[in-house]
Structure 1
Amino acid sequence: MMHVLSVLALLGSGTVAGVLFAVALSTVPALAAMSPDRYVYTHTLLGRNWDPTMPIIVLGTTLLDIVLAVQASAPAARSLIIGAAVCLAGVSVVSHLRNVPINKRVHRTDPDAIPPGWQDPRPLWRRWHLLRTALAMVALAANSIAVTLLF
């Protein structure tokens, strides 16, 4: 059972880290290079399929880590898994409290009628995204090291 849970936790944390890293590496710079109207239009298109997929993966992997931490007999592995769970919970908190509200505001904006004095959310969204990307990468590293200690 621990082997299966470990593989699932690695798969989940790897998926989260990989998706967020890819967005940070490619999508964020592309969106930053666009005019406001093109940005709003493209951002709306790109955001269509994230919910509920990513929240399910993030929260599901957090839950897997909690179960693994309870079952882990090695103290170092348990500590790493708890750290991974905390980092993944952080990804969820940053996403839901910071990035999602910005996304909703962008999605309510008409790309053909950007208002004068429009506050460009891209720099703020990028900072929050980089934070959750770093948390996801730390979670993946912690899970990976913990699994090597468990087996």
Structure 2
Amino acid sequence: MTQVLLPLALLANGLAAGVLVATVLGVVPFYRTLSADLYVRAHAFAVGRYDPFQPACLLVTFAADAAIVLTEPSGAGRALCAAAGLTAVSVVAVSLTRNVPMNRWIKAQDPRAMPAGWDMEGFRSRWARWNSRRTALAVLALVLNAAAAAVLL
């Protein structure tokens, strides 16, 4: 069972981490170059594409890691998969409590009539900071899953 579940966890985790790393390396720096109206449009456009994909990958990662924890006899492998699964779920938690509410807010705005006094730089910085944190967690989960593969496969 581990020979099927662990590659699945690695694939899903790698895809989620890759999307997040790409966001840190390319999307966030691009967002910082945009005027408020263009930023709102670009952010709203991207949200509808990344949000359904990334959480689904992380939940598949968690499910595969959890199944390994329940079925694998190796204590070291179980511990690594448990840590990876919990770390993947923590990415979802950060997303749901920090980035997703900000994404919903920005998506609901009219780019031609932003609220008076909106601190665009503060908003972008907070969103980028939480995005960097969840990216680090996703990469850590991937490292833990890779370590589990080294032990179990």
TM-score scaled to structure 2, two decimals? 0.94
CA drift at 1:109:
1.2
CA drift at 1:51:
3.8
Q: What CA deviation, in whole Å up to 9, does each residue of 1:8-50 have, x standing for no partner? A: 0110111111110001110011001111111001111111223
Number of equivalent positions: 151
The secondary structure found in structure 1 opposite 2:101 is helix
**1:149 aligned to 2:151?**
yes
Out of 112, 128, 131, the position equivalent to 1:129 is 131
The secondary structure found in structure 2 opposite 1:50 is helix
- Cα RMSD for the two superposed structures: 1.1
The equivalent of 1:93 in structure 2 is 93
**1:48 aligned to 2:48?**
yes
Q: What CA deviation, in whole Å up to 9, does each residue of 1:93-124 have, x standing for no partner? A: 00111100000111111111123211321111
- On the 8 A contact 2:69/2:81 being kept in 1, the answer is yes
Paired with 1:65 and 1:80, the residues of 2 have a C-alpha distance of 9
Paired with 2:59 and 2:49, the residues of 1 have a C-alpha distance of 17
The equivalent of 1:111 in structure 2 is 111
Q: What CA deviation, in whole Å up to 9, does each residue of 1:66-94 have, x standing for no partner? A: 00112222212211111101110100000
Residue ranges of structure 2 left out of the alignment (5+ in a row): none
- On the 8 A contact 2:16/2:58 being kept in 1, the answer is yes
- On the 8 A contact 2:37/2:111 being kept in 1, the answer is yes
The secondary structure found in structure 1 opposite 2:109 is coil
Paired with 1:97 and 1:128, the residues of 2 have a C-alpha distance of 10
Paired with 1:138 and 1:91, the residues of 2 have a C-alpha distance of 10
Paired with 1:128 and 1:117, the residues of 2 have a C-alpha distance of 22
Alignment of 1:20-59 (within 5 A): 20-59=20-59
CA drift at 1:136:
0.4
Paired with 2:18 and 2:113, the residues of 1 have a C-alpha distance of 35
Residue ranges of structure 1 left out of the alignment (5+ in a row): none
32-41 or 134-143, larger mean C-alpha shift: 32-41
Paired with 1:22 and 1:136, the residues of 2 have a C-alpha distance of 12
TM-score scaled to structure 1, two decimals? 0.95
The equivalent of 1:69 in structure 2 is 69
